[in-house]
Amino acid sequence: MEDNSNISQELLETIERYYNGSMSKDELEKFENKLEQDNVFKSQVEDIKTLLFGIESQSLKEKLDEFHKEIPLQEQTVETSSKVRRLDFWKYATAAVIVIGLGCFWFLSGSSNERLFNNHFTPDPGLPTTMSSSDNFDFFDAMVNYKEGNYQKAIEKWEKLELKQPENDTISYFLGVAYLAKKEEASAIKYLEKTTQTSNSVFMNDANYYLGLAYLKAENTEKAIEHLEMSSSDDSKELLKKLK
Summarize pLDDT for 48-107 with one digit per residue, the tens. Answer: 777 665 544 444 445 445 544 554 444 443 444 444 444 454 555 555 555 445 444 444
Residue at 147 is within a domain: yes
If asked whether residues 127 and 36 sit together in one domain, one would say no
Helix (H, G, I), strand (E, B) or coil at 106: coil
**Is residue 115 in a domain?**
no
> Which pLDDT does position 2 carry in this prediction?
47
Same domain, 146 and 91: no
- 29 part of a folded domain: yes
**CATH assignment of the domain containing 232:** 1.25.40.10
Whether residue 3 lies inside any domain: the answer is no
Rounded-to-integer distance, Cα 108 and Cα 19, Å: 18
Query: Is residue 73 domain-shared with residue 22, that is, in the same domain?
Result: yes
Indicate the residue among 110, 134, 165 that finishes a domain: 110
Picking from 90, 110, 130, the residue at the C-terminal end of a domain is: 110
Distance from the first to the final alpha carbon of the chain: 42
CA distance 161 to 146: 15
74 and 98 inside one domain: yes
Question: How many structural domains compose the chain?
Answer: 2
Distance of alpha carbon 57 from alpha carbon 152, whole angstroms: 38
* 3-state DSSP assignment of residue 149: coil
pLDDT of residue 46: 82
Q: What separation in angstroms does the CA of 139 have from each of 75, 101, 126, 209?
A: 60, 38, 12, 23
The C-alpha atoms of residue 40 and residue 47 are separated, in whole angstroms, by 11
pTM, 2 dp: 0.57
- What is the structure's pLDDT at 238? 93
Residue 39 within any structural domain of the chain: yes
Question: What pLDDT shows up at residue 67?
Answer: 47
Over residues 209-233, mean pLDDT: 96
